[in-house]
Chain A
Amino acid sequence: MGDYPSRSANSNAGGPAVTARHSRVAGGGVSPIPPDDQPLGGGGALPKKSRFSMETGFRALSTSAGAMVLVIIVAIAIFLISKAVPALRANTENFLTYQAWFPNDDQPRFGIAALAFGTLLSSIIALIVAVPVALGIALFLSHYAPRRLATPLGFAIDLLAAVPSVVFGLWGRDVFLVPVQDFSVWLNHYFSWIPLFGGNGPFGRSILLGSLVLAIMVLPIVTSLSREVFQQTPAMNEEAALALGATKWEMIRTAVLPYGKPGVIAAVMLGLGRALGETIALALTLGTVFNISFNIIQNGGNSIAANIANTFGEANDTGRGALIASGLVLFTITLIVNMAARAIIYRRREFRDSAA
């Protein structure tokens, strides 16, 4: 999985060396080949093409397609900023600290504080719930389950990842709400002395419901990524641990987990990125309140993405700009999280291919 037999030798051997000559004849200022790249063979007898070379054209085409990705990322930043700045200018409150969202008034007042807090809180709770379970399943699939069970179960987990988020949102609102409500009432009855579970209700459409739905959605991502990492543990390490008399769990703790640690960290951060950006599931399950509160069982909670989906319909020009500004914040956060995750994966190059 880790090495690329096809990559190193072939493409430099034949193609570019011959065609470099052609492209120079064609006057290819567009050619990305450096001019000091001399032909390897004595190609003097080859016919010279005077017309535009297909090779140059195809190379330029594929290069520009590859560059499209960079262009899109830069364009996202540019266009979001260009639409966000007028709205931020019109804002009469501090965008970063104000805790309400009235961008459609004559005196627009809006701030991201409550939204960003809700986004982070729901994502973190989702990860706290999902990661241990996901690692358990990953270990089960890679080391405990018999092969006949591991394959269909892994397939089921992959299918769970394919289910659209709006379906989870609908399920969370119509089905999962009732047990979470009962659980919240129970928590409030016995544990209201903990600030997390305080309050006088109503309960149900809370951060807890949103986070649990998010956790179910994050689970398959973290599972499939960590499973791949765990499966790549060198058999030598595992056998060495077992040969020293380790029990199965000790083998996992001393051989599998240390080996998979960077991959697991990266998987968790990718899951965090997915949780931060999740829109519709939270728009359907959260109670949409603009305040900063650590109470997770009372109706309330909001997130940047859910707020965009909920208030986009009645937004005017400034309102749209304000939503785009909040989207810019979300973009920045997810970009940082994703880049950190990818940097961790890239440092351990073995995992690079398995990170989908």
Chain B
Amino acid sequence: MSLLEREQPGVAMTPDNIRTRKLPLIVNLGVAVAAIVVSAALVLGTSIGNWVLVVVLAGALYLVGLFVAATRVEGRRAARNRIWQAMIYSACVLAILPLASVVWTLVSKGASRLDADFFNASMNNIGPRDADGGAYHAIIGTLEQVGIATLFAVPLGVLGAIYLVEYGRGKFAFAIRFFVDVMTGIPSIVAGLFILAFWVLIVSPWFNNGTPRFSGFAASLALTVLMLPTIVRSTEEMLRLVPGPLREGAYALGVPQWKTILRIVLPTALPGIVTGVMLAIARAAGETAPVLLVAGGAAAINFDPFNGNQSSLALFVYSQASDSSRYAPARAWTAALTLVALVLILTIAAKLLARRNRLS
């Protein structure tokens, strides 16, 4: 009692003022309206900017006004709390804007060429004045490259994760785990350059009478390098979630460890592993740079991933974006829409699968 009186002389401890006073909502709204009016008058009156500046300035004025008002009613600490809350909320709105813009542009611009011709034709013999042409060759390329890369990366990644969880001990296992994490951050262009130096320039001349050759297979090798760490990480986490008693039960029955892993541990963790693999595939399907460097890109349909240039959907988007034809942007946006649809379907399916997973 005496403490309180010393802080706020003249305040009696009645039930009315023992609670902290709240800033009424009407004052809050009033500050907002005043901020908008003042900033609009200021900006448009002096004509130093357009409505964007009005909004930004109004936001800043609102924060200041709110701080002053809340300090008078609620005290400085509560006012600071309000300011930070407002800033955190506005950060969220700020991040939703570009996402909404990307989605809107994709749908509105991508729909113009979303016809059967786009999915049934290649860019072979399509000149700058031709409005048609499609991404059939690119879709073939994406499917083949990502498929081959999955064939390499999944067994390697799952086995590597099995090593880390079931066998790995000591410094060697720690080093592998550390470098798997580091490898997730390797830029895709570096993976592309690695396969360019290793496969296209050094190994492929052996099969091709001494001249280096681009191929879809080289692209899938680069994608393997990019997918491998993602798959190892996600599989490792899933294997760790498999309950120990399951393994111990198998050992008690005399099952050797390798059989326990293959018959007990892997099937239990399978849904989670599939989720991780699908996310890795989604990431690989969207990679442009490695395909650009080692598959070369092509306008015609090429079903053979081991022989000759191939394109991919992401590379198709990039090449159409750099094309000067006035019909190219429409093709680029439709291909981008197709690519995003492919990636998002994979991602959403993976997340739904993860939700049904009993382990996590």
Contact = CB atoms under 8 A, between A and B. Distances in A.
A320 interface: yes
Interface stretch (B2-10, B32-40, B186-194): B186-194
Interface in B159-186: 159-160, 162-168, 173, 175-176, 178-186
A64 to B, nearest CB: 8
Interface in A148-188: 153, 155-160, 162-171, 173-176, 179, 182-183, 186
- Of the listed residues B81, B185, B193, the one surrounded by the most CB atoms of chain A closer than 10 A to its CB is B193
B91 A133 contact: yes
A227 to B, nearest CB: 12
Interface stretch (B11-19, B115-123, B302-310, B333-341): B333-341
30 contacts: A6-B243, A10-B244, A14-B251, A19-B257, A55-B257, A63-B167, A66-B168, A70-B175, A70-B179, A73-B182, A75-B194, A137-B95, A140-B88, A158-B347, A164-B343, A165-B288, A166-B286, A167-B106, A186-B53, A190-B48, A249-B80, A277-B189, A279-B189, A280-B314, A308-B289, A312-B292, A327-B193, A330-B187, A331-B187, A356-B233
A69 B198 contact: no
Given A6-B242, A14-B248, A59-B258, A346 B186 contact: no
B206 interface: no
A117 to B, nearest CB: 18
Given A132-B91, A279-B187, 13 more contacts: A14-B248, A59-B167, A65-B163, A133-B91, A163-B102, A174-B109, A174-B333, A175-B101, A219-B95, A309-B289, A312-B292, A331-B187, A345-B181
Nearest to B259: A54
B318 A280 contact: yes
Contacts of A207: none
Interface of B: 48-50, 52-53, 77-78, 80-81, 84-85, 87-92, 94-96, 98-99, 101-102, 105-106, 109, 155-157, 159-160, 162-168, 173, 175-176, 178-191, 193-194, 196-198, 201-202, 225, 228-229, 232-233, 237, 240-244, 247-248, 251-252, 256-262, 279, 282-283, 285-289, 292-293, 314, 317-318, 321-322, 329, 332-333, 336, 339-340, 343-344, 347-348, 351
Contacts of A219: 95
Contacts of B340: 163-164, 167
Interface string A206-234: 00000000001001000100000000000
A170 B317 contact: yes
B193 A324 contact: yes
Interface string A1-45: 000111101110111101100000000000010000000000000
Contacts of A280: 288-289, 314, 318
A10 B242 CA distance: 11
A247 B317 CA distance: 50
A167 B321 CA distance: 10
A52 interface: no
Contacts of A240: none
B244 to A, nearest CB: 4
The A interface is mostly helix, strand or loop, or mixed, namely: helix
Contacts of A279: 187-189, 288-289
Given A73-B182, A144-B85, A153-B92, A7 B165 contact: yes
B178 A342 contact: yes
- Of the listed residues A10, A80, A252, the one surrounded by the most CB atoms of chain B closer than 10 A to its CB is A10
Contacts of A196: none
Interface stretch (A88-96, A103-111, A291-299, A333-341): A333-341
Given A69-B229, A312-B293, A171 B167 contact: no
A349 B174 CA distance: 13
Contacts of A16: 257
Contacts of A68: 156, 160, 228
Contacts of B109: 174
Interface of A: 4-7, 9-11, 13-16, 18-19, 32, 54-55, 57-59, 61-63, 65-70, 72-73, 75-76, 79-80, 82-83, 132-137, 139-140, 144-145, 153, 155-160, 162-171, 173-176, 179, 182-183, 186, 190, 216, 219, 223, 247-250, 252, 270, 273-274, 276-280, 283-284, 305, 308-309, 312, 320, 323-324, 327, 330-331, 334-335, 337-339, 341-342, 345-346, 353, 355-356
A62 B187 contact: no
A335 B186 CA distance: 7
In the A-B complex, the 7 residue pairs with the closest CB atoms: A277-B187, A136-B91, A164-B286, A15-B257, A14-B251, A65-B159, A66-B163
A62 B167 contact: yes
A223 B99 CA distance: 14
B251 A320 contact: no
A6 B163 contact: no
B167 to A, nearest CB: 6
B102 A168 contact: yes
A355 B184 CA distance: 11
A170 B175 CA distance: 39
A201 B253 CA distance: 77
Contacts of A334: 185-187, 190
A338 B229 CA distance: 14
A273 B185 CA distance: 6
A157 B88 contact: no
